[in-house]
Structure 1
Amino acid sequence: MTRVRDAAHALAELSLEALPGAHLGGEDELLDRLGVSRPTLRQAAKIVEADRLLQVRRGTRGGFFAARPDAADVIRAPARYLRLNGATIADVHSVTRLIAEQVAALAAACTDPAPLAELAAFRDRIEAADSVPAMIRSETELARLLARMSGNPAAELFIEIGYTFGREEHHLHFYQSDEDRAQARSLQRKLCDAVLAGDAEVARLMIRRRADLITGWLARDLAVGT
C-alpha cells in the first residue's frame, strides 16, 4: 500500500505542477516515469481522481490529465464529514457565528467600490424577500457577499460549509412566520447599514443579534420535535 500511496503523491504533484487540463502522459509513459507497476499506477490514479486532481481518459486520445477540484467538491467533503461524525446544525452554528462576526468586521473595512455597490443594491431589495425560499436565498447571498468583502478566503470557505450543511437540514422551520421574516429583514438592513458606514462594532453587534435569533429558532424547532 505504501507504493500506491507514494505513486498517488507523485501523480498529485505532477498535476499541481501543470495547468488544469494539461496532458501528463499516457499510461506507459507514466509507468516509466514513476517506476511502478501497472496495477500500482492504476490504484494510485483512482486515489488522485477521487481527490479531483486527475482525469483519466481512455481511447486513442486518452491519457492522464491534470485536474482541479471545484468549490462544490471542496465544500461538500467537510460538510459530509461533519454529518457522518454526528455534528448538528447547532454545533455548526456555534462556530460559524464567531466566524461571521469577524467577517462582518472585515467587510466593514472594505473599500472596494464594486462589492460596496453590490451590498447597497442588496440592501435596496431586502423587502422583496417575503417568502421562505426568498428569505433563504437572501440570507445566503448576504453571507457570501460579506465573506467575499472580508478578503479572507478561509472565512469564505467556512461560511460556505456552514450554509451547505444548513441547506441539508430539511427539518428546520426558519422564516416560517411573517414576524420571523420581518425580524430577519430588519437585522439584514441594520447589518448592511453598519458595513456600508464602515462601523465594524455595530456590524459585529448585528451579527450577534442575527445569531441569537437563529439560536432561538433552533431551540424552538427542537422543542417542537421532542
Structure 2
Amino acid sequence: MMQLTGQAETLVLKTARELAQLSLSTAEGDFLGAEEDLLAHFGVSRPTLRQAAKIVENDKLVSVRRGIKGGFFAARPDAADAIRTLARYLRMKGGTLSDILVVSRLVSEEAAARACSCADETLLCRLEGFLAGVDSNDTPGAMIKAESELVEIISRMSGNPAIELVMAIGFSFGREEREIGLYREPEHRQTGRLLHRKLCLAILDRDEEIARVIMRRRSATMLEWLERESGVNA
C-alpha cells in the first residue's frame, strides 16, 4: 500500500479508527453500509476510505465484499490469527521453544490444576481418548503432535482464556519444532509417553497436587532435552 505522510496519513488513520469503532459497535457479520454510504458517513474521499478499509481489514475488523450485494461488514479477528502473529513476532525476536517453556511453566502447572475441576463432558472425553492412544505415539512427529494436542485440551479444560493464550503460543511453537530433534531418542519418547499418561490420569482423578507435580516434571524434562540439544548443535 502507498505510504502516506502528514495530513493525508492522519486522515486515513482517523478514518480507520472510526471504521473500526463502527464495526465494534455492531455484531460480527452486520452490514455497515455500502461504499457510498460510508463515504457520506465519514465525509472522506474514496481513496481515503479504501486505504483506511485495508488497515481495518488487516486487523480483521472489517470484511469488504464486492458485487451487487457487497459492501462493508463487521468482522472479528480469529484467535488463531492472533496467536500466529504473536508466535511470528517472538520468532523474529529470536524466541525459541525453550524461552516459551521457561515463561509458561507456572502457567502450565496452573492449567493442569484447574483442569482437574473441569466438568465439560466433551473435553473430558477428549482427554480420555488421548489417554487411550498414548502408546501409539512412537515417532518424533507423533510425539510432537501429541504434546500439542494435550496442551490444547488441558488449556481449554482450565477455563481461563489467558492460560489458553499463553499455552497456545507454545502449541504454535511446538508444531514447528521437528527440525530440532525433539523426541528423536527412543528413551525420550518413552519418558514422554509416561508423563502424558500420568498427567492424564491425575487430571481424570481430579488430583490437583499430582497434576501440578507431573506438569512441572514435564516442563523441566523438556527444557533439559532442549538445552542438551542446543549444546550438541552449538
Global fold match (TM > 0.5):
yes
Q: What is the root-mean-square deviation of aligned Cα atoms in Å? A: 1.6
Question: Which stretch shows the higher mean deviation, 82-91 or 99-108?
Answer: 82-91
How far the C-alpha of 1:83 sits from its partner, in A, is 1.4
1:115-161, Cα deviation, whole Å (9 max, x unpaired):
22322222122111111221112111111111111001111121111
Q: How does 1:206-225 map to 2 (within 5 A)?
A: 206-225=214-233
Equivalent-residue separation in structure 2 for 1:116 and 1:190 (angstroms) = 15
Does the 8 Å CA contact 2:144/2:178 hold for their aligned counterparts? no
- Quick check: 1:173 aligned with 2:181? yes
Residue aligned with 2:146, SS = helix
Q: Give the C-alpha shift of residue 20 in structure 1.
A: 2.8
Q: Does 1:101 align with 2:102?
A: no
Give, as a single letter, the amino acid of the residue that structure 1 aligns with 2:230.
L
TM-score, L = length of structure 1: 0.93
> 2:193 & 2:151 partners in 1: Cα distance?
13
Do residues 125 (structure 1) and 138 (structure 2) align? no
TM-score calculated relative to the size of structure 2: 0.90
State the partner residue of 2:147: 139
* Aligned pairs, number: 226
Partner in structure 1 of residue 119 of structure 2: 111
Q: 1:163 maps to which residue?
A: 171
Q: Name the CA distance, whole Å, in 2 between partners of 1:124 and 1:112.
A: 19
Alpha-carbon distance in 1 for matches of 2:30, 2:183 = 47
Q: 1:196 aligns with which of 174, 195, 204?
A: 204
2:144–2:174 Cα contact (<8 Å) kept: no
Partner of 2:3: none
Give 1:15-94 correspondences, 5 Å limit. Answer: 15-94=23-102
- Overall identity of the aligned pairs, in %: 50
Q: Distance in 2 between matches of 1:72 and 1:110?
A: 23
Q: Deviations over 1:74-102 (max 9, x none)?
A: 11111111112222222112112221111
Partner of 1:6: 14
Task: Measure how far apart 1:207 and its partner are.
Answer: 0.8
Q: 1:122 to 1:167 in 2, by over 3 A?
A: closer
186-195 or 1-10, which deviates more: 1-10
Uncovered stretches (5+) of structure 1, i.e. residues with no partner? none
- List runs of 5+ in structure 2 lacking aligned partners: 1-8
